[in-house]
Structure 1
Amino acid sequence: MHRDTGRDVVVPEGLLRIEDCLDATGGIALPPGVTLISLIERNIANVGDTVAYRYLDFSGPTGGHAVEMTWNALGVRMRAIGAHVQRHAARGDRVAVLAPQGLEYVAGFFAAVKAGMIAVPLFAPELPGHAERLDVALRDARPAAVLTTSAARQAVDDFLAAMSTADRPAVIVIDDIPDTAAHDFDPVNIDVDDVSHLQYTGGATRAPVGVEITHRAVGTNLLQMILSIDLLDRNTHGVSWLPLYHDMGLSMIGFPAVYGGHSTLMSPTAFVRRPSRWIEALSAGSRTGRVVTAAPNFAYEWTAARGVPADGSGIDLRNVVMIIGSEPVSIDAIRSFNAAFAPFNLPRTAFKPSYGLAEATLFVSTIAPDAEAGVVHLDRQGLTDGRATPVPADHPQAVAHVSCGHVARSQWCVIVDENGDELQDGGVGEIWLQGDNIGRGYWGRPEETETTFHGRLGRTSTSGSHAAGAEADRTWLRTGDLGFYLDGELYVTGRIADQVCVDGRCHYPQDIEATVADASPIVRRGYVAAFTVDGDARVVVVAERAAGTARVDRAAAIEAIKAAVMRHHTIAVADVRVVPAGAIPRTTSGKLARRACRADYLRGTFG
C-alpha cells in the first residue's frame, strides 16, 4: 500500500487491473474502496508524471493550441479547488460546475467530488437557448457553491442575480485559486455507495431532472464499457468534443481514470465550426495506439458533409473506435461516414452502435468488438402493432433499424408489456434494466423515483428469458424507451413519450420525420419534428428549410409532405410549418427537443 504524502489517503499499489474487478463467474464486482477518486489517486501514485487530459483550445485568433494536465497536476488542482469548496459547502452539499469546456471544468468536477460534495455538472450561462434548463437544474439541485472561471464569472453573477439572496450559492473562480491552497485541503473518506454527482437529463421529453449517480454506478459502468468494446489495452485513449455536462461527455473523462491513460478534449463549438478538427485529433491518436470516441447521429452526418480531409492530408483512422449513441441509431449516418472516410483507412468495424441513458449512468449495450454495424428491415405496420417482423429492404413498408448489440456484462435488460410481463423476442415493449450501474433515483423526487427506478417485473418469458441471472427481489429501471430483441440482439425503436398517437394507434415520430424529409427537397434532413396537439387530435410537422431551396414552392412542398405521410402512415397531417435553419430547438446533446418544439408551436413561435 502507498500512503500519499501530506494526506491521510491510503492508495493501493499499482494501477487498477480489470481482472481484480471480476468475480469467479466473470461478473463485475468492484474491489473494496474503489471510487472515482481512488482511481485517480492510483494514477497519481503510479503514473503521476504522464498526461491525464489534453485540451485543444481553438478560441484564439491564430488557430488551436494544446494545453495538458498530468495526473500529478490534477491531484494538486483537485486539493486546491477542493479546499475552497470546503469553505463554502458541507459534506453532501451540491456543488455546480458552471464553466466553459476546458481543463478547469475537469479539475473542478473532480475537486467537488474529492471534497465530499455532490458535483452537479452543468454549463456556463452563455450557452445559447438553454437558460431555462440551467435555471431549472439550479433551482432543483440548490447548490451551496458554484465553480466557474474568470472568463465566465460575470455571466454567472448576472444569471444568479435572479435568485433570492438566501438561495444564491457562493461563486468560486477556479483559475483564481493558487496551487498552494492544496495544503488547506481536509481529507474526506468517500464510500462506494456515496453519490458522486447529479446527472441532469437532456430535457428531450420533459423538464430536466437530476439522476443520483453513485461511485459504484460510475465504476461499474466504466468497466462495462471497457469490457464490451474491448478497450483493455492501456494504450487506448479518448478523443471527445462532447460537452462535459452530458453523460457521454463525462464518460470520456472517466476512461482515463480507470486506465491511467489520457483523453484529448475540445469544445462542441470548435467541432461544429470545423468538424475536421475532430478527425485530425482522432488521426493523431490513431498513430500511437487505439483511440475511442463517441457522438450522436448528427455529428457523424455533419462530419461526413463538412469534415472530409483532402487527398494527401495524411489522415489515418485505422485504430479508431467510434461509439454512436442515439435513440434510434441512424444507419444513414453510419453509411455516409463510412463512405466518406474509407479512403482514410477507417475499418468497417469501427462503428459501435450503442444504447444508453443517464439513469443507467450511461452505457447499456453495443455490438461485438469485431462486428460491423448491422441493420434489419421491419414491417412498419407490424411495429405499430407491437411486433418486429423482418421484411426485404425493398418492401414498400420497410423501416430500417440498427442493432445495438448485446447488453453489457452484469447488466440485465428485459422487454415488457404494459403489465410489466416480459415479452418474447420479437415483441416490442418498454426496456427495463437492472444492475449496479443504475442510478439511485431522481434528486428530491421520491414519487418519480418510485415510479421509474422501482419497477417490479411480472411474469418472465417461458423460454430464453433475458432476466436469467438477475436478482429476483431487486427492482428494475423503467427506461421509457421502446425496443425489442431479435436473434439475441437489442434494438431500440424510440421514446414512449415521443410517440405520435392518433385514433388509438401509435406511430414513431422519427419514421414520420423520415417520410417528410423524403417528400420534398425543401426539407433539411434530420431537422424535422412531428408531434400532436389538441389532445392528440391533430398532427403537426415542423421542418427546417434546406440550404439552396429558396426557389422551391412552399405550398407545393407542404402538399407533397401531407400526401406522403398519408400514403405511408395513413395519418392526416393538420399543419406543416417550414421554418428557417436553426429554428427547431435541440437538447444540450444535439437531439431533437420535440417537447420544446411543440411548446414553441403552441406559443406561435413559428408564425
Structure 2
Amino acid sequence: MATVLDDVRSGRETPTLPELLRLRGERQPDDTAYVFLHDGEDPRESLTYGELAAAVDVRARWFAARGMSGRSAVLMYPPGLEFVRTLLGCMASKVAAAPVQVPRRLNDVERVRRIARDAGATAVLTETSVRRELEELFGDLEDLLGLTVLDTAEPAAAGGVPGPAPGLDDVALLQYTSGSTGDPKGVVVTHANFLANVAETDALWPCAPDGTVVSWLPLFHDMGMLFGVVMPLWAGIPAYLMAPTAFIRRPARWLEAIARFRGTHSAAPSFAYEMCARAAAEGKADGVGDLSSWRVAGNGAEPVRWAAIRDFTEAFAPHGFRPAAMCPGYGLAENTLKVTGGDQDREPTAVWLSATALREGRAEIVDAGTPGAVPVTSSGRTVPGTEVRIVDPGTSRGCPPDVIGEIWVNGPCVAAGYKGRPEASEETFRARIRDADGRPEDGRTYLRTGDLGFLHAGELHVAGRFKDLIIHQGRNYYPQDIELSAEKSADGLHPNCAVAFAVERDEKERLVVVVEADGRAVRAHGTETLRERIVRAVHDHHRLTVDTVLLVRRGTIPRTSSGKVQRRACRTLYEEGELTDLATPPPGR
C-alpha cells in the first residue's frame, strides 16, 4: 500500500504543507508528529498527526474569522510546539508568517518593529507567557510595538469558516535573513519553494519510515524550520525538539537525545560539532550513549571546517558514530535553504589549496602535506533541477575552473524575492551570466548568494563571504581562516569565539581580531600573553600582522539566530567604541 510520501515522491500528489498535514491526519492520526523536550530531556509535550491537524484547522478558522487571510503577521514564540501549530495554521489560512526571536533587549524589540513594518504586518501572534514576560521587561507590548498582540494558545471559541486553501504559488513564509551581512530582509518563500527544497533534501538524505529527527535549532530560523518542522512533516516521521539554550548550556544533551530516541537525521552549524568535540575532550560527554542510529549529520555553515569534522568524528567514533554519516552542505534563506549536500553514506572530503594561490583568488590544489596548505571542505553536489555556477562578481562572467568566484544558483528552490524591495530583488534574484561581449548567455536568471567558492569534481567548495573578504596588499584573506588560527592559539578559547575584520586608519588598512575569552583562559594566561599568542598564531599561519587584538567577555560578539558571528556588526561596534577590552587580572588571582 502506497504511503503519503510514496505518492509525493512519485509525483502522483503535489500537496502544500497544510494539505500534506491533512492527509497525514487522516491516514496516520495516532502517529507521533512532534515532541518537545523540556530542559532538553523531558518529553512531556507531544502531538500526534491527528491532534496537530485538528489544532491547525482551529487556528486557520480563527485567522480567517479575523480577516487575516492574505495578510502578514509576526510570529513570536519561545521554543515549543505552539510555534508549530501556529506556523502551519498561518500557512493553511494564507497568512504570510514572519517568525522572529522573542526579544530580550530593547534593540531586539526595535528589530521586531522593523520586521513588522517591512512585512506590512499589523499583528503579532504569540502566547500568554511571552506577553507577560515582555510586559514585565518593557511595559505595554502593544504600545511598544504599535501592533495588535494576539494569543493563539486558545483560539477555539472564535469559530470561523476556513478560507480558500493555499496554492503552490502562494506565500508560505517571510523568512527574515539573520543579518550576518546587513539589515534583515524578508525572503518571500512560496509553498512550491518549500516542497522543492524538502524534496531535494530528501533526494540526498532520504527519510525512511523508521526515521526520527532530533533538533535543537531555533524554529524561527530557516535551517531549524526545515529540519525541525518541514522535513519531519514531509516524511511522516517523529521530530524531537529542544530549545537552543538546552544545547548551548550542555552540548552533550543533543547527542544524548539522538542516542535515546534513536535519531536518524539531525543537523547543525559547524560550530555545534566543535562544541561537542570540546565537551568530549573535557570529559563532559561520557554518557552520550549509542550514536549508531544517526544516518545524516547535516553540517551547514559558510564554510564547514574540516577540523570540526575530523575532531567530532574521532571523538564520537567510540559511541558508534560513523564517519559516513557526516554530511556537509551549503544553503541560505534566499534558496529556501539547501543548495548542495554531501551524499549520504559517503565520508566527507576536502581539497587542500595553496595558501599563496588562495590569496590571489585561485584554487590551486596541492598535497595535504604541503607547507601552508589550506583544507577546504566539499559541501557536496546539487540534485537535478538546481544549477550552481561560479561567476566573477564584477563582470558577471563565468569563472575558469581554478578561479574562486561568487556562487550563483538557479532552480525551483530560489525564493520569489525580498518583500517590498523590487530593486534589491532584481539585483539578487534575477542576475544574468554574461558572455565575453557582455551579453546575457541565455534567458536563465540566477540567485547571487554573496558567497565565494569553486567547483571541483562536480562538488561545491565554499571559501567565504564576498563582503567579509579582507584584502591586504592586493591579496585576499578569508576571515574564518584567521579566526580559526586565533581560536587555536591558546587553551581555554572556545570554538566560534573570534571575529576578524579590516578597518581604515591613518589611510591604511588595519587588521583587527576580536576574541571572546572566559575567566579560565584569562586566569591561565593573562590578557597580554593571550594577545601575544593570537598575534603570533595569525602571523605564523598567514604571514599577516594583527594591528589590534581586542579581548572581550563571552557573549559580546554579535551573532545571528543560528549562532554565526556577525562580522560587520562587530566591526561597527568596534568603530563606535562599544567593545570593552578585558583588563589583565592582578598577579596571584
> Which of 258, 263, 270 is the equivalent residue of 2:246?
270
Cα distance in 1, alignment partners of residues 81 and 236 from structure 2? 17
Could you tell me how far 1:568 is from its partner in structure 2?
Answer: 3.9
> Which of 307, 311, 314 is the equivalent residue of 1:336?
311
Change (3 A) 1:64 1:39: same
Cα distance in 1, alignment partners of residues 69 and 98 from structure 2? 14
Contact 1:484/1:492 (<8 A) preserved: yes
Q: 2:267 maps to what in 1?
A: 294
Map residues 112-131 of structure 1 onto 2, 5 A cutoff: 112-126=90-104, 130-131=108-109
Contact 1:80/1:185 (<8 A) preserved: no
Contact 1:56/1:65 (<8 A) preserved: yes
Q: 1:527 maps to what in 2?
A: 497
Change (3 A) 1:522 1:337: closer
Cα distance in 1, alignment partners of residues 289 and 217 from structure 2? 25
Change (3 A) 1:564 1:472: same
Change (3 A) 1:214 1:156: farther
Could you tell me how far 1:318 is from its partner in structure 2?
Answer: 3.4
Map residues 212-291 of structure 1 onto 2, 5 A cutoff: 212-231=188-207, 233-252=208-227, 253-286=229-262, 291=264
Cα distance in 1, alignment partners of residues 106 and 290 from structure 2? 33
Cα distance in 1, alignment partners of residues 2 and 85 from structure 2? 23
Aligned pair 1:451/2:432, yes or no? no
**SS state at 2:564 partner:** coil
Cα distance in 2, alignment partners of residues 377 and 131 from structure 1? 44
Aligned pair 1:41/2:22, yes or no? yes
Contact 1:51/1:69 (<8 A) preserved: yes
Give the AA of the match of 1:455. Answer: A
Q: Report the more deviating stretch, 589-598 or 268-277.
A: 268-277
Q: 2:38 maps to what in 1?
A: 57
> Which of 90, 110, 118 is the equivalent residue of 2:88?
110
Aligned pair 1:515/2:493, yes or no? no
Contact 1:421/1:458 (<8 A) preserved: yes
Give the AA of the match of 2:23. Answer: R
Q: 1:407 maps to what in 2?
A: 382
Q: 1:394 maps to what in 2?
A: 369
Cα distance in 1, alignment partners of residues 277 and 107 from structure 2? 26
Change (3 A) 1:525 1:304: closer
Cα distance in 1, alignment partners of residues 285 and 479 from structure 2? 37
Cα distance in 1, alignment partners of residues 129 and 493 from structure 2? 39
> Which of 517, 522, 526 is the equivalent residue of 1:545?
517
Q: 2:586 maps to what in 1?
A: none
Cα distance in 1, alignment partners of residues 100 and 169 from structure 2? 23
**SS state at 2:565 partner:** coil
Cα distance in 2, alignment partners of residues 310 and 571 from structure 1? 37
1:128-181 Cα shifts (integer Å, max 9, x gaps): 98445434322322323221111101245576957769x833222122334x65
> Which of 470, 474, 477 is the equivalent residue of 1:504?
474
Cα distance in 1, alignment partners of residues 529 and 232 from structure 2? 54
Change (3 A) 1:19 1:71: closer
Map residues 363-378 of structure 1 onto 2, 5 A cutoff: 363-378=338-353
RMSD: 2.7
Contact 1:524/1:543 (<8 A) preserved: no
Could you tell me how far 1:427 is from its partner in structure 2?
Answer: 1.8
Could you tell me how far 1:457 is from its partner in structure 2?
Answer: 1.3
Contact 1:282/1:320 (<8 A) preserved: no
Cα distance in 2, alignment partners of residues 200 and 579 from structure 1? 29
Percent of paired sites with the same residue: 35
Q: 2:407 maps to what in 1?
A: 431
Give the AA of the match of 1:363. Answer: K
**SS state at 1:373 partner:** coil
Q: 1:7 maps to what in 2?
A: none
Aligned pair 1:303/2:279, yes or no? no
Give the AA of the match of 2:516. Answer: E
Cα distance in 2, alignment partners of residues 254 and 419 from structure 1? 38
Gaps of at least 5 residues in structure 1 are 1-12, 23-29, 461-470
Aligned pair 1:558/2:566, yes or no? no
Q: 2:460 maps to what in 1?
A: 490
> Which of 333, 354, 359 is the equivalent residue of 1:379?
354
Cα distance in 2, alignment partners of residues 508 and 434 from structure 1? 26
Contact 1:118/1:196 (<8 A) preserved: yes
Cα distance in 2, alignment partners of residues 563 and 274 from structure 1? 32
Could you tell me how far 1:31 is from its partner in structure 2?
Answer: 6.0
Aligned pair 1:594/2:587, yes or no? no
> Which of 132, 156, 169 is the equivalent residue of 1:154?
132
1:226-284 Cα shifts (integer Å, max 9, x gaps): 001233x2222211110011101111210122222221111111122222221122113
Q: TM-score normalized by structure 2?
A: 0.90
Change (3 A) 1:304 1:128: farther
Q: TM-score normalized by structure 1?
A: 0.87
Contact 2:324/2:347 (<8 A) preserved: yes
Change (3 A) 1:454 1:161: farther
1:556-578 Cα shifts (integer Å, max 9, x gaps): 44344334434543433221111
Q: 2:56 maps to what in 1?
A: 78
Cα distance in 2, alignment partners of residues 580 and 312 from structure 1? 30
Contact 1:15/1:259 (<8 A) preserved: no
Q: 2:185 maps to what in 1?
A: 209
Change (3 A) 1:81 1:426: same
